């Protein structure tokens, strides 16, 4: 069913049940890959808040979680390519195995910025887990991108944490823009 958010129209792309299923699979994979250590998950707010919450419930190995807040869309439908650093975290990640949790990798600019910033803090490793990836929009290769929920086309999407003009984050399914 179509839905309208502000001036744009959207239709369903990924149903909540498919998201749940995929998160369970990724969760199992992460537990197996990180069972030798106590990983630090760094959630990138705002868009990934639901994904982080659902993913972390699938993690049954000891782990720590912290958050950072970055912005590059500022409520619009295209990346401005300028990243604003809104909230930083104080946790010492030197020597730690770090897994960044993102809602979506679009141009790859935000991921690239955050990875460079974290590298200075000398973690043992940095990997990235993103619910969504728009492969055709990537401007930079991101070698750290290890877990991807769904690869999607380059159009604009909302729901399950992702917003248009700060709205639509509460939708259970993910929707793509049709108009």
Contacting positions for ligand IMP (CB under 6 A): 47, 72-73, 79, 102-111, 156-158, 162
Decide whether 103 or 144 has the Cβ nearer to Mg ion.
Answer: 103
Count other C-beta atoms under 10 Å from residue 82's C-beta: 9
Decide whether 76 or 95 has the Cβ nearer to Mg ion.
Answer: 76
Strand-pairing partners, residue 10, are 3, 177
Reference 106, options 131, 80, 135; nearest CA is 135
| Element of type H or E holding 32 | helix 16-33
Residue from 47, 149, 159, 168 binding Mg ion (CB under 5 A):
47
99-118 footprint of Mg ion as x/- string (CB under 5 A):
----x---------------
- Report the nearest approach of ligand IMP to the CB of residue 173 (Å): 14
**Of 33, 85, 106, 143, which is the active-site residue?**
106
Phi, psi of 5 (to 5 degrees): -125, 115
Tell me which of ligand IMP, Mg ion, none is bound by residue 79, counting a contact when its beta carbon lies within the kind-specific cut-off of 5 to 8 angstroms. Answer: ligand IMP
- Report the nearest approach of ligand IMP to the CB of residue 138 (Å): 8
Instruction: State the first-to-last Cα distance of the chain, in angstroms, to the nearest integer.
Output: 14
- Report the nearest approach of ligand IMP to the CB of residue 95 (Å): 27
Decide whether 61 or 138 has the Cβ nearer to Mg ion.
Answer: 138
DSSP structure string for 152-163 = --SS-EEBTTB-
Decide whether 79 or 125 has the Cβ nearer to ligand IMP.
Answer: 79
Which residue do the tokens 């910025």 mark? 113
173 catalytic, yes or no? no
- Residue 11 and residue 175: Cα distance in Å, rounded? 5
- Residue 110 and residue 130: Cα distance in Å, rounded? 12
**Catalytic residue positions?**
106
Where do contacts with Mg ion occur on this chain (CB under 5 A)? 44, 47, 103
């Amino acid at each position: 069913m179509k839905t309208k958010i502000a001036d744009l129209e959207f239709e369903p792309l990924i149903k909540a049940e498919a998201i749940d299923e995929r998160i369970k699979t990724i969760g199992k994979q992460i537990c197996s890959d990180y069972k030798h250590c106590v990983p630090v998950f760094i959630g990138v707010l705002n868009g990934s808040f639901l994904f982080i919450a659902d993913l972390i419930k699938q993690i049954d190995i000891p782990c720590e979680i912290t958050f950072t807040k970055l912005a590059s869309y500022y409520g619009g439908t295209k990346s401005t390519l300028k990243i604003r650093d809104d909230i930083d975290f104080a946790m010492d990640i030197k020597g730690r195995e770090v897994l960044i949790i993102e809602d979506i990798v679009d141009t790859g600019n935000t991921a690239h910025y955050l990875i460079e910033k974290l590298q200075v803090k000398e973690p043992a490793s940095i990997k990235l887990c993103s619910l969504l990836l728009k492969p055709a929009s990537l401007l930079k290769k991101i070698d750290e991108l290890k877990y991807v929920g769904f690869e999607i086309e380059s159009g604009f999407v909302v729901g399950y944490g992702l917003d248009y003009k700060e709205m639509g984050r509460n939708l259970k399914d993910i929707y793509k823009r049709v108009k």
